[in-house]
Structure 1
């Protein structure tokens, strides 16, 4: 290791965080049982054939049905001339078509390129051209976006579906409401496209290919919140390893609660095209024969709460903004959470104020985790059985190593802030067609430089302090926006908070705080006085601006970049 001392190497070899693992959690995952994600899915469909795999808008799909429908997709794609390694874009929200299409693409030996359905034409054109996708599955709601860019891409196969395609007779009603009542389908024209229902009426068998651990399963594009979006190349090994790593944690949680694991229900409010839901909900969920309750529009909080009231959810993955919105909803607080065994936060920092509200509403302690598209995504999480919200991202998961390094690549002492670097089987193969970008984030000894700043304590727990690029420099002192936001969020009159750095003649930069009020009477002066109680002078907000809402990505991350203008 570059610049590392023998003592440092000894510490890493010993992986001090293993001492903090609950009993029964191994340091390493077992050898992988499958050579492809498609193979895992196929075995799950056979093993759990009669069990429910996915639920959406009241319609259930068993594992046997998923197997049958996805095989049609695989056979059709091969018949269209798509060959192993071709990239196929999936531009779908959380509807039953998503698991069917994704499993079918993988079974055909192709690579899934997940696309945010809410992309603008510019964003879609960039991703389709960068990935070289030759096919796309899209919902009619977003077909107009494809229409606007298709002539600039390599697309030769376009499949267009509807919200109601897999909902049986109810689907006709859903489509009528979506098209006519809510007017959610802009006019579009894609000559030569194939309706999803026509594809599903086709016959034929697909040819099973020899798929290996190093074959590419997904091109998972980074959010692009800090620069140009890049395709993280995730192999079968990456995704299968991460599902196995996460499963160890989940199994330990079940055992601690003496849970009946014969019928586990996950809620899936995060979009499956996002790496968190893709791996944790779909891949890991299917590996254990769980059912996933798909939520097509989690921003409709009243509708989401109404749906939750119909089921006894056992596992709730989500992120800070979603937990915050739910915990502030009075109807949500009235739900029965007796079956809820595990709540895991990822995607962004979870604030203590939000965790406290969640625990008060559900009786469940949020276990905060950490990961990135480049790590498939899970790299660290708090131990199952935690009785208090730790404010950290927890411990590296099995077969994963963390090292905190300075700008010169040297390991920093415990407790000192540096860049979080990660090594493990879930770390991507690189960025798609970007060798220079790959080289800039991968160290010679195989660590991925995350761009996140944090420190490790003497028990192996890691605390994120912020993104490297979001750091604010006030009179030579580093100010981490998460810390300012965490303090502001504890004010009872604050619903959401975001901090950025703005130019200041006296200090170079000053902290500006954006607030969404819960209490309409809340003033800027009151916020400043409140923050002064918890933050040293240079960290306090110099400017406060009230907004009705904060800009977010489709999965709920606050876009500081847009606030900076």
Structure 2
């Protein structure tokens, strides 16, 4: 059994050297070629002084070289620090200052976008295009290297499974970005957990429609490469038609995307899903919650596929898994603990609660990170005295062991003592109004009675306005009265992270600013509606840019 991340690739290369490993925009790299590139880059990194524990920041948009550079860093004993695609200069500066890399692997096109890299003295700049690449020079000898031979050639004989392999930065939706230090054991175990559940094999040809710089995308790459399958990716921006062309042209039988990626298809592009449906056998969805009506649509379009969705964090990847067809009666949950993973729900004193009791979700397993990079305080605050990693998410386990996710601990809305899940409200509202983007947050009760009330914030691309009366009529049979949104606010756009996640805290802050600017209007509407006996939904009509 492999102990190190790059050993998974090496084993597949030895078994299937001529098999396509990575296809990017039509350019094919076999396993022998990918291993060749990894070995060459690893040797150059060792010559540059990269050894056990040294960080290498990888800032590359070209996905084949990106993967080779990540694996090469690990093979050299270093810790890979992927720079997320489309990072703004301030973000790159943060990654540089926090991770203090010895080497930055990049390309000249990247330095044009990030002038700060020119003349940088803190780290050595290495351009991948300057490292010769002749895949045919590898020959049969390299494709059949044993693990021991590989280590000797690279010089990384001292690498152990508990050594750091990668630092992934959190998206920052809940505050400052944190560097998550993942060991070889963490990454290998997560890969094995996912593959044990999904059952993919060497026949897998998967279109990965998410950035490889993120936990989900790199995770899918590891899973497919570990079994000797083929991944299909693109360096460009994708739209539904382009994605379907890649899937069709390369005869992909597997597909991985985030919920927002699938949402692009629903509506005017649904016919495209029908075109690829017969060839798809595996699907994985992750990174954010998916609305129930979208799950049901996937079941309709892919009746023969194994549709899997996970819940996890950068710190604890794929902690639960669910397969939609086989677990249809539990499709409104995030599944049960993945193989080799334990999950409990804790009260504020870190004591386990009973089934169906709400508390903080905690995870334990070899896939869970051991520490945050340079942040001992955060590491300690997220650990219970029994070694559980406290996720900061609230939810409950039902009697059958399925996990129900309610939202982030700080996002749960306490309205008159009733705990309201923003995710539950968002899912229900999105199923009724699929053409809008929604975000539910807690806001001060204009009537100063309930403390907090749910506030519906939404973005409508076509300028459509949602009124309190319309919302009440749509939700009255679906949501309990004490959970009904009391405030509606239309945004021009939501504040988001670089990878497209809504920053809920910023939405809440902007909403409160808008309410302060016009307090009498929202309070008056609240009182008038309350006097007529209707749920007092206040409409705040101002826009936040």
Per the shorter chain, which TM-score range? 0.7 to 0.9
Alignment correspondent of 1:483: 424
Distance 1:553 1:542 in 2: 27
CA drift of 1:544 comes to 2.5
- Residues 53 and 63 of structure 1 are in contact (CA less than 8 Å); yes or no, is this contact kept in structure 2? yes
C-alpha separation between the residues in 2 aligned to 1:141 and 1:530?
Answer: 51
Secondary structure of 1:53's counterpart equals strand
* Structure 1 residues 334 and 547: alpha-carbon distance in aligned structure 2, compared to 1, 3 A threshold: farther
Aligned to 1:513: 456
Residue pair 1:56, 1:294 contacting (<8 A) in 2 also: yes
**Hey, what's the Cα distance between the residues in 1 that align with 2:259 and 2:233?**
19
- Residue of structure 1 in register with 2:440 after alignment: 499
Match of 1:164 in 2: none
1:332 alignment counterpart: 272
Cα distance, 1:155–1:331 mapped onto 2, change above 3 Å: farther
Q: 1:387 to 1:337 in 2, by over 3 A?
A: farther
Shift of 1:239: 0.8
The Cα shift of 1:319 comes to 1.9
- Name 1:529's counterpart in structure 2: 473
> 1:154-553 to 2 correspondence within 5 Å?
155-159=122-126, 194=127, 196-201=128-133, 206-251=154-199, 261-279=201-219, 281-297=220-236, 299-328=238-267, 329-363=269-303, 364=305, 366-375=307-316, 377-383=317-323, 386=326, 388=328, 390-505=331-446, 506=448, 507-517=450-460, 521=464, 523-525=466-468, 526-547=470-491, 549-553=493-497
Note the C-alpha offset of 1:549: 4.7
Distance change in 2, residues 1:141/1:544 (3 Å): farther
| CA shift for structure 1 position 201 | 5.0
C-alpha distance in 2 between matches for 1:301 and 1:142:
27
Residues 207 and 233 in structure 2, CA contact (< 8 A), matched pair in contact too: yes
Looking at structure 2, the residues matched to 139 and 355 of structure 1 have their Cα atoms a distance apart, in angstroms, of 40
Residue 89 of structure 1 corresponds to: 57
Q: What is the CA-CA distance between 1:445 and the residue it aligns to?
A: 1.5
Q: Report the alpha carbon displacement of residue 141 of structure 1 after superposing the two structures with TM.
A: 5.0
Q: Distance in 1 between matches of 2:443 and 2:154?
A: 57
Which whole-Å CA distance do the structure 1 matches of 2:108 and 2:440 have between them?
Answer: 38
* Conserved 8 A contact 1:219-1:432: yes
5+ residue gaps, structure 1, are: 1-32, 160-193, 255-260
1:332–1:138 distance in 2 versus 1, CA, 3 Å: farther
Contact 2:79 2:165 in 1 (8 A): yes
Change (3 A) 1:214 1:485: same
Contact 1:50 1:63 in 2 (8 A): yes
The alpha-carbon distance between structure 1 residues 433 and 521, as it changes in their structure 2 partners (threshold 3 A), is closer
Alpha-carbon separation, structure 2, partners of 1:464 and 1:432? 27
Shift of residue 551, structure 1, vs aligned partner: 3.9
**Distance (Å, rounded) in 2 between the aligned partners of 1:493 and 1:108:** 48
- The answer to whether the Cα contact below 8 Å between 2:337 and 2:343 also exists between their aligned partners in 1 is yes
Task: Supply the distance in 2 between the matched residues of 1:353 and 1:382 (Cα, whole angstroms).
Answer: 16
Deviation at 1:495, TM superposition (A): 3.8
Q: More displaced, 411-420 or 469-478?
A: 469-478
Q: Which moved more, 1:412-421 or 1:550-559?
A: 550-559
Contact 1:321–1:557 (CA<8 Å) still a contact in 2? no
Q: Distance in 2 between matches of 1:63 and 1:214?
A: 26
Q: For residues 150 and 122 of structure 1, do their structure 2 counterparts lie closer, same or farther at Cα, with a shift above 3 Å needed? A: farther
Matched, 1:558 2:502: yes
Matches of 1:240 and 1:310 in 2, distance apart? 31
Compute the TM-score of the two structures, normalised by the length of structure 1: 0.80
Q: Judging changes above 3 Å, is the alpha-carbon distance between structure 1 residues 528 and 115 closer, same or farther for their aligned structure 2 residues? A: farther
Deviates more, 1:198-207 or 1:554-563: 198-207
The alignment yields a C-alpha RMSD, in angstroms, of: 2.5
Following the alignment from structure 2 to structure 1, what is the Cα–Cα distance between the partners of residues 237 and 445? Answer: 39
Larger relative contact order (CA 8 Å, sep ≥ 6): 1
In structure 2, C-alpha distance between the alignment counterparts of 1:303 and 1:73, rounded to whole Å? 32
CA contact (8 A) 2:46 2:76 kept: yes
- How far did residue 516 of structure 1 move? 3.7
Shift of 1:309: 3.2
CA distance in 1, matches of 2:374, 2:75: 24
CA shift at 1:51, angstroms? 0.7
